[in-house]
Structure 1
Amino acid sequence: MSKRMAELGLASRREADEWILAGWVKVDGVLAQLGQRVGPEVRIDIDPAAREQQAQRVTILLHKPIGYVSGQPEDGHEPAVALLTEANRWSEDALGGKLRFTPAHLRGLAPAGRLDIDSTGLLVLTQDGRVAKALIGEDSDIEKEYLVRVALQEAPDAADAPDARQPPEPQHPMTHFPAHKLALLNHGLELDGVQLREAKVSWANEDQLRFVLREGRKRQIRRMCEAVGLEVLALKRVRIGRIPLSHLPQGQWRYLAPWEKF
């Protein structure tokens, strides 16, 4: 039953289970039972109380700095949720005068996708199972865009310079990186024996690549770059779907507004 509700976009499977236990779901006019099997032809009715509860769940956009982990604290590092305080709320939050921050907004709040401890940029934390499913569900097709500053892994030796007393000229990756390797970043690489989905990778400037991905494997961009001879110096996520990081300052957060959709 909960799987069918998730497929229809009514709720996440966890939410569906909660609603069924609360008596808020009927199947063909009869109260649903947890674990009940249903076919695609059944009529599912949801009590308005469930919709009201769902509407009260918040989604938060955070500009995560380096040094914070996305989820549970690990190796002595603080979780990103520790930054969600009234003092760190962005002064230009569009909901500033309409939605007051309360501790209840932190209950059940979970990251919808990860951002490595040494990466910065847009991190989404949500209480809404629909948002989580859209961003990290098995069928998610939402783009994530990153700006990645890189260097060539093998820098030229100073002894090879025309005058060994002078350091070599900087080697900008864009002008020294083979076109066939850039093509591999777009499509053709494997990680852990699995073919990566097609990406959009291009030069943003002489030492920075723009990655647009529709998947998010662990340390994917860093491992992709390593596979083609590039070292990642800095990585920043600047967009998820239709939501850009924009001018949100590092270490600050804002609410996702009702009119914004990923």
Structure 2
Amino acid sequence: MTLPRLGAAVTLDSFDILRDWICESDRTIEIQDFVHPSVIGADHSGLIAQWRERLEGHRGLRGIHGPFFSLDIAAPDPAIRAVVQERLMAGLDVAGALGATHMVIHSPFTFWHTLNYANYAFLRGVLFEGAAECLAPVLARAAEIDCTVMLENIDDTDPRDRTELVAMIEHPNLMVSLDTGHAELAHGRYGAPPVVDFIAASAARLGHVHLQDADGYADRHWHPGDGVIPWRPVFSALRACPQNPRLILEVQGDHARLPETVSRLEQRGLAC
């Protein structure tokens, strides 16, 4: 399967650096300025106006990274879930205003959960039920604006958790997201499966990928090739997915080097 052209996670500043490279090939972008509580919880109409101006001439697909700080979608307390819903709804309002057709949210699953499913028999069911209840109105709103919610691995060590949650909810506007660096961190620090196994576990429901490299120790967000992830097997695993997930380079710093990174991946026959 031919993979889609690589896109980029951007803020206003990094989009300005990459604008020509992005627009000349209509690359997918993921806007990440709205994740912080100080932004999503305040008047951000000015920021939206700035983005609308920047996006003139961009004809590629768009998405946003939704708010995530302190937002546990599986929180058992309904009062807390109400706050989570409010923030995610605000994220969808941003997505609608910017023509974004995906929004990334964070998984609630952790290494502690994996270690304790057998110890607390009720635990997995409570997490699944809480997440489903929290996301129900969010997904209804996402359907109204034709936006797909992508559930990203963060502290996940069992790649089946997100996939099985998405399968249980079975909503057309909910898919699995994979962050390669988070998976590599979980593999290196917690003994989780390697990145290729995370891909295989969610292949049928994988709609979105954050491509970033790491060293198996921390969440580095390095350019692919700067860490230890074996990229040829990763891209081969992505090609085996039954649908084309959106591929987003999510690097931290040195954004001006992204065209060079993509060119190197293309020359190796890994990406386009």
Greater RCO, CA 8 A, separation 6+? 1
Q: TM-score, normalised by structure 2?
A: 0.25
Normalized per residue, the structure richer in helix is 2
Bigger radius of gyration: 1
TM-score by length of 1: 0.26
